[in-house]
Structure 1
Amino acid sequence: MFDSLIRDIKYYYRMGDSLIKLLYVLIGSFLVLLILGAFTPKGSDFMFVLYSYLKLPSSFSEFIIKPWTLITHVFVFSSVWGFIFEVMLLWIFGRIVSDLINQKRILPIFFITTVVSGILFLIFSSLLNYHSTYFGAKAPALAMAVIAASIAPDYSLRFILIGDVKLKFVVMIILIFELLSLASGYDLVFKLTSFSGALIGAVYIYMVKNGIEWKNIFSREKNQFANKSRTSSRKSPLTISYKASESNKKGSAIDKSNINSEVDKVLDKINKSGYDSLTAEEKEILYLASKK
């Protein structure tokens, strides 16, 4: 039974897209630290020392000694509930970003937001005389939320007791709660750093609309979004371009020469009626475009 579970985990990881693999790593790191903490004897400083090598320190002098913490801090969580909340945000908003504008953008958005927010934490700590550590994935989660809301503001999310709520309102409520938390003044630098993720997400949207693509930091692929966005008259703030490939062996009836206009129509329909309103063919168009 255990072997079967391991095989299933390996299979879904191998077959998953960038978002799935990222979530696997986050969940895995959380479980490893949780198990280590559970088996560490009381009175031992093992976990304290381990966390000191993973969390981002507030002082530049300590950071220079442990520069890897600029990345590793994102894999450390404050609590079980904090972990669940941040991973759920990443899953919900990351899935929208992945489905609508290309799953290749997920990792650049996540890690660049992680690095930039970490640098901002060091700056804020120096300016405000803050002495503690920073950790967690709330900054990239908020970045994903803002990007998703900018792409498809009228996309509907269904809640059990409330029903359908437009994405822009969901993100707005989350940001309002974050601002209220900032206004309390408690642990200001930590919370300000987390909120910076939302600002980084807004900067991402602005940069991509002006032809600067973050994923090109990891790839030399030409930014086709910039060329398309200057000529397209569609309403959505982002454009998906698709390059025809011989790999599509399903014999789809989609006219690939008109794929961009088809994607535009699909995105407009999502904005108006939500993802669930799409037909099977429209979902296939979106899937093919996201795999470009």
Structure 2
Amino acid sequence: MNSTLFEELKFKVFKSGNPIFFYIGINTLIFVVMALLGVVIFLSGNPSLALDGLVREYLAFPASLERLPLRFYTVITYQFFHEGFLHLLFNMLWLYWMGQIFLDFMKPRQFHFIYLSGGIAGALFFCAAFHIFPVFAANISTATVIGSSASVMAIIVASATLVPDYTIRLFLIGDVKLKYLALAYIVLDLIGVASVNAGGSFAHLGGALLGFVYIKALQNGKDWSNLFKKKSKLKVVRNEGYKQSATSKENTVAQHEIDAILDKISKTGYDKLSKEEKDTLFKASKH
């Protein structure tokens, strides 16, 4: 039974092609491994091995420009480490909820791009803010940021920008449109820049900005996630004896229709769809 569960989890994370499961799986796996290492270090009785300090030193993203040449890789690694269980839990819950909405209208390739580039934008925003505002000058040499919050924020804001009037139901609050949920988070982070977690708030704002700008560019016909996509070469093969079946033709037409609807959503938003187009998309999602 345990073997079956392990194989199922392995499939969902690494083979299903679902980026939500992939990032939740990677973040959770890293957290569990680090927690177990922490237990081993604790039991060894060696106080010099401070695991949190090592993570902050070598895997968190630093504000100091002098440290970046030797810590350039942290622009990626910082996105996959968390300070505690609750930090991980809430990030992964929001990634799951918002990721499901995102993938209803967008492609896995675009999810990967926004998650990673949102984290990068968050790190750069954090670094820039600590150098721009004098109040942080004394902390630049030691300040670091860690966690997937900027990446998750990019997914949240991208979803809210794409389908702003999409409604979700929150516990004790009721129905809330995505645009208001994203706005509330942004306001909280703006307030948070005056708190002890100013670095985290700046990173969130950087991720939010990336998510917003990406969708706006997409609606103007520019998909940045295509920058590194290889163009396939088409080869026409003449085959006189091949006849396409009626079912195959119907499936091809249906797929073209779905692709056209998804393109329309990316350019004008879900709310611009006609009732017939929404029904077509809903039926397709059932398959």
Please give the TM-score of this superposition, normalised by the length of structure 2: 0.76
Question: SS at the partner of 2:176?
Answer: strand
Partner of 1:61: 66
Deviation at 1:172, TM superposition (A): 2.2
Letter of the 2:83 counterpart: S
Deviation at 1:260, TM superposition (A): 4.8
Is 1:138 paired with 2:149? Answer: yes
Conserved in 2, the CA contact under 8 Å of 1:113 and 1:200? yes
Is 1:192 paired with 2:232? Answer: no
Letter of the 1:285 counterpart: A
Conserved in 2, the CA contact under 8 Å of 1:154 and 1:271? yes
Change (3 A) 1:221 1:180: farther
Deviation at 1:158, TM superposition (A): 2.2
**Post-superposition CA distance 1:121-179 (Å, at most 9, x none):** 33333334223111111111111111101111121212344433222222222222222
- Residues paired across the two proteins, number: 258
Question: SS at the partner of 2:79?
Answer: helix
Letter of the 1:210 counterpart: N
Mapped partners of 1:29, 1:101: distance in 2:
27
> How do 1:254-273 and structure 2 match up within 5 A?
255-260=254-259, 262-263=261-262, 271=271
> How do 1:133-172 and structure 2 match up within 5 A?
133-172=144-183
Partner of 2:190: 179
Change (3 A) 1:52 1:148: same
> How do 1:95-244 and structure 2 match up within 5 A?
95-127=100-132, 128-129=136-137, 130=140, 131-182=142-193, 184-221=194-231
Partner of 1:5: 5
Deviation at 1:30, TM superposition (A): 1.5
Change (3 A) 1:164 1:36: same
Change (3 A) 1:221 1:148: farther
- Percent identical among aligned pairs is 23
Is 1:283 paired with 2:282? Answer: yes
Letter of the 1:54 counterpart: L
Structure 1's unaligned 5+ residue stretches are 223-245, 273-277
RMSD: 3.3
Partner of 2:19: 18
Please give the TM-score of this superposition, normalised by the length of structure 1: 0.75
Change (3 A) 1:202 1:269: closer
**Post-superposition CA distance 1:205-226 (Å, at most 9, x none):** 222223332212331359xxxx
Mapped partners of 2:202, 2:119: distance in 1:
14
Letter of the 1:115 counterpart: I
Conserved in 2, the CA contact under 8 Å of 1:154 and 1:168? yes
Mapped partners of 1:109, 1:135: distance in 2:
18
Structure 2's unaligned 5+ residue stretches are 233-244, 273-277
Change (3 A) 1:180 1:5: same
Mapped partners of 1:108, 1:253: distance in 2:
28
